[in-house]
Chain A
């Protein structure tokens, strides 16, 4: 007997075989005019569907899992008298309320066709890898730390050898200009060069020669290396990409697959970002990047994950006014109030409501670089930067058109420490007040 579930499965399969994926890859429409326009809003809040997502089918994996024992009742059935016990007999044909999402289509739907009506089929589970399960199951918490089952000597040995290995690797790539350099090109107004990954140290005041005070964030460039070069064809984008890594971290807490990126490049980095770069600005993987990559007087964009505030109400998250504290308000002081109008008869997508706030990537644009310390690799950047202290941050040349003139003739493609240039320990902007000068006077 063909139930509606089977028909649905067939239709779904049919759609897939008809290159459904081709339907998704449509052309991007015209760019929206400004950030507040309806098109821009709709584009930002459009729901994204991943191709692997499938509606739950009946022929799910009935194999393992505690649900198989429930006998497929599906929901709270009618109460039975205590005398009559309905044992877990043959599963009923009634559909379950939820079944785990099925992996590779071919297998699951193939099984559904073969299955006799009313029986659950076991789909073949894909070959399991360590730490991965073929389907979503309740968490198996068996966490160990990397040296729980090793002896002390082995731990010390491992630590020593990895440190030595990484040191040798980084040292071998310390002189990028001297051994097999990639071709160096001249800077053109169209070229986009790499950025840098830095650690946010804290903030400090600085004064200009006219006596004005500005607040400055210190960003330290710590163990920044270029990890990999991805050409335009490989990545499928408009420009080639360079993978850059930040602070060094321990290689022991990640799986082998995650460490593959770092095999040739050196020690594991805490943050790995991609920079879209023009072809004349590509750099050999393994080159270290320094703070002198930027110069004072330049303008910079800084991206980082904002401080996470957890689940927050509407007043903190969106700045709503709330309700008064007195004058008869019953249990309503921080609530959103009305969420839509009568005529709309629905709630619009993207309506500002309580939810998780923070811990998302945000960028501060157009920050001036006041000072560079070449000895400790510190960039002094105007204003504040998203993220908490000691968080990793992505620093790029500013994309704003107002600062196109200020970012002329930077060290291109990057600043090489083994090159001919010998920079002083501190590089200052023209307007900044240096503490070696006497006090400011107005003549």
Chain B
């Protein structure tokens, strides 16, 4: 029994059967595939080097990635790295810290982890492709407001302390990477660098300086820099090509 035959249109005539609208299925797997992450060390720097050199280096990097998993992480995520150390007990060394900087291109790519251990700030610079690294685990995957968290050296130590035995924070694969909009409080001046100046372009500090100082810092701003065409380096097409190459090679 269906009551569709008894429906009457606004005109007075019998209504035609309209099937219900199709449900929109959000395929999380597809979403995850669409979200691509290309590690920044694959993108070649601007210069007059032969692209063949970058291709040879990429082959080596892909080779290493096939054997050893280098996870996706950003500046601001908390990582735990185990390295082989000939002088340690059990010959291995585990360090947990927040990634404050990712530098270098190609095989020499590095990342710096910072932590405060027994009131002493410790920063260790690891090479991504060093064969002595035995494991890299991402304990907390998140982004921050800046690409470079060097100002944590002048921030209060609580912002750089992480428990050495921290448990990894679980997250679903499909979610977007969360951006931590934390504004960090600083120690009193002097700082190692004048972070209030516009050249560092830092958004993650809660500046408690007087207005006068902030205004004075703007004297060093260079507003023409963002319009400088010679400094433009559009990496979108290069990234596409390299992403295709890398993903195909890794899937094999």
Residue numbers of A with Cβ under 8 A of B are 199, 201-202, 204-205, 207, 211, 213, 218, 220, 373, 376, 378, 389-390, 433, 435-443
Q: 29 pairs across A/B with beta carbons < 8 Å?
A: A199-B50, A201-B52, A202-B50, A204-B57, A204-B106, A204-B107, A205-B108, A205-B127, A207-B131, A211-B132, A218-B53, A220-B50, A220-B52, A376-B56, A378-B56, A390-B49, A390-B50, A433-B131, A435-B60, A435-B63, A435-B131, A439-B132, A439-B133, A440-B84, A440-B131, A440-B132, A441-B92, A442-B86, A442-B91
- Within the assembled complex, what's the spacing in Å between the Cα atoms of A390 and B49? 7
Residues in B whose Cβ lies below 8 Å from that of A205: 107-108, 127, 129
Sort A-B residue pairs by CB-CB distance and give the 9 closest, nearest first.
A435-B63, A442-B86, A201-B53, A435-B64, A440-B131, A202-B53, A211-B132, A442-B91, A205-B108
Residues in B whose Cβ lies below 8 Å from that of A390: 48-50
Residues in B whose Cβ lies below 8 Å from that of A441: 84, 91-92, 134
Residue numbers of B with Cβ under 8 A of A are 47-50, 52-53, 56-57, 60, 63-64, 67-68, 84-86, 91-92, 106-108, 127, 129-134
Given that A211-B131, A218-B56 are contacting pairs, would A439 and B49 also be in contact in the complex, using a CB cutoff of 8 Å? Answer: no
Given that A205-B107, A376-B56, A390-B50 are contacting pairs, would A439 and B134 also be in contact in the complex, using a CB cutoff of 8 Å? Answer: yes
- Within the assembled complex, what's the spacing in Å between the Cα atoms of A376 and B57? 13
> Which of the listed residues A204, A436, A437, A438 has the most CB atoms from chain B within 10 Å of its own CB?
A204
- Within the assembled complex, what's the spacing in Å between the Cα atoms of A274 and B91? 53
B204 to chain A, nearest CB (A): 32
Contact of B91 among A201, A437, A443 (CB under 8 A): A443
> Which of the listed residues A199, A390, A441 has the most CB atoms from chain B within 10 Å of its own CB?
A441
Residues in A whose Cβ lies below 8 Å from that of B68: 438-439
Chain A facing B: main interface SS: loop
**Which residue on A lies nearest to B91, using beta carbons?**
A442
Contact of A437 among B52, B67, B92 (CB under 8 A): B67
Residues in A whose Cβ lies below 8 Å from that of B50: 199, 201-202, 220, 389-390
B90 to chain A, nearest CB (A): 10
Residues in B whose Cβ lies below 8 Å from that of A389: 47-50
A397 to chain B, nearest CB (A): 24
Extra A-B contacts (17), CB below 8 Å, given A389-B48, A390-B48: A201-B52, A202-B49, A204-B107, A207-B131, A211-B86, A213-B127, A389-B47, A435-B64, A435-B129, A435-B131, A436-B63, A439-B84, A439-B131, A439-B132, A439-B133, A441-B91, A441-B92
- Within the assembled complex, what's the spacing in Å between the Cα atoms of A373 and B57? 12
B38 to chain A, nearest CB (A): 19
- Within the assembled complex, what's the spacing in Å between the Cα atoms of A442 and B92? 8
Contact across chains for A376 and B91 when beta carbons are under 8 A apart: no
- Within the assembled complex, what's the spacing in Å between the Cα atoms of A162 and B63? 41
Residues in A whose Cβ lies below 8 Å from that of B49: 201-202, 389-390
- Within the assembled complex, what's the spacing in Å between the Cα atoms of A384 and B197? 38
Residues in B whose Cβ lies below 8 Å from that of A436: 63, 67
**Which residue on A lies nearest to B63, using beta carbons?**
A435
A353 to chain B, nearest CB (A): 33
**Which residue on A lies nearest to B135, using beta carbons?**
A439
B245 to chain A, nearest CB (A): 16
Given that A204-B107, A207-B130 are contacting pairs, would A435 and B67 also be in contact in the complex, using a CB cutoff of 8 Å? Answer: yes
